[in-house]
Amino acid sequence: MNYISGEILCIDKPLGWTSFDAVKRIRGAIQRRLGLKKFKVGHAGTLDPLATGVLIVCTGRATRRIDELQTGVKEYVADLRLGATTPSFDLETEIDAIFPTDHITRRSVEEVLPRFTGAIMQVPPVFSAVKVDGKRAYKFARKGHEVELKPKQLQIDEIELIEFSPESLRLRIVCGKGTYIRALARDIGQALGSGAHLTSLRRTRVGDCRIEDSMSVDQAIELISSGPVEFPEE
Percentage of the residues of the chain whose pLDDT score is greater than 90: 75
Q: Residue 228: which pLDDT band, with cuts at 50, 70 and 90?
A: confident
Q: Looking at the whole model, is its pTM more than 0.85? A: yes
Paired with 58 in beta bridges are 8, 42
Handedness of CA 32, 37, 40, 42 (dihedral sign): positive
CA angle 58/61/62 to nearest 5° reads 35
In the residue annotation, 102 being an active-site residue is answered as: no
Pairing of strands 84-85, 97-98: antiparallel
66-86 per-position pLDDT tens digit? 999 989 999 999 999 999 999
Which position among 12, 48, 90, 187 bears the catalytic label?
A: 48
